[in-house]
Structure 1
Amino acid sequence: MSVMLRGVHHIAIIGSDYARSRRFYVEVLGLPVLHEVYREARDSWKCDLDAGNARIELFSFPAPPPRPSRPEACGLRHLSFVVSDIDAEVARLATHDVTCEPIRVDEYTGQRFTFFSDPDGLPLELYEEI
């Protein structure tokens, strides 16, 4: 029997400061909240965000250890979001004091992309599909 993956269900992110991370993903990136709950037994928040074709699960935990991401650490490299107008999105992010790297062109697809970071330094990408 062959099992076929049908897509990505969710990406889980642990923020060092839940309120700061929630504000960034909801207010700055504009991801709608689907469900949010405080889990008292774990002293942890869990917020499900609508990221289009997948969800982002934003978590808080008491004193999470830092995870290296630069230089290129083994593991998940970055999270990429599709946009239709990268220039407009970079300009919008700048109004929230989010700095993006210079826009580059993917040498294989010809599409434009850029990177920026969330409040904990998690590398995020904007990838333009027109």
Structure 2
Amino acid sequence: MRIKRIHHVAIICKDYKRSKDFYVNILGFKIVHEAYRKERESYKLDLELFNNKIELFSFKDSPKRPSYPEALGLRHLAFEVSDIEREVEFLKSNNIDVEDIRIDEFTGKKFTFFSDPDGLPLELYEIKE
């Protein structure tokens, strides 16, 4: 097997308009393609930021995530930032709850967690430029 890189992360949301607003207007992803699949009553939104791709799906009556954040499966999605304090203040100014900034015991780097509109755990991880 010769994997080059991760191509995309797929996320299922409950409130499509709210999640679309969050990923586009708060996190800054650009819309690549948007489609409504009538037969599934489902949206599919392709997003991209610095060659990182997210597929945002809406499905009618999707089950909730069983626990936070230790459910089986994807634990969290992490975003690299160069100034974590600035980004935390931005999120808070948009009424998004953010955990206290912590230090990674193995790398000494700063990190923190917040959630998307459906409670998906998202991480900010600081890498100074």
Flag whether TM exceeds 0.5 (same fold): yes
What runs of 5+ residues in structure 2 fail to find an aligned partner?
Answer: none
Query: Deviations for 1:24-75, whole angstroms, at most 9, x for unmatched residues?
Result: 1111111111111111121111111113342000011111111223261121
Distance 1:104 1:71 in 2: 16
Cα RMSD over matched residues? Answer: 1.2
Partner of 2:124: 126
> Is structure 2 residue 127 aligned with structure 1 residue 113?
no
- Rounded to whole Å, the distance in 1 between the matches of 2:11 and 2:88 is 22
- Post-superposition shift, 1:21? 0.7
When normalised by structure 1's length, the TM-score is 0.93
1:83 — aligned with what?
81
SS of 1:110's equivalent in the other structure is coil
Rounded Cα–Cα distance in structure 1 between residues aligned with 2:106 and 2:57: 35
- Out of 7, 26, 29, the residue aligned to residue 28 of structure 1 is 26
Give the count of matched residue pairs: 128
Structure 1 runs (4+) deviating above 3 angstroms are none
Which residue of structure 2 aligns with residue 61 of structure 1?
Answer: 59
Change (3 A) 1:6 1:71: closer
Q: Is contact 2:13-2:56 (8 Å) kept?
A: yes
Identity of aligned residues (%): 57
Contact kept in structure 2, 1:69 and 1:77, CA below 8 Å: no
Counterpart amino acid of residue 111 in structure 2: F
* Equivalent residue, structure 2, for 1:74: 72
Distance 2:61 2:17 in 1: 14
Alignment correspondent of 1:6: 4
Q: Deviations over 1:71-123 (max 9, x none)?
A: 61121100001111111100111111011100011111111100001111110
Secondary structure of the structure 1 residue equivalent to 2:47: strand
For normalisation by structure 2, the TM-score amounts to 0.94
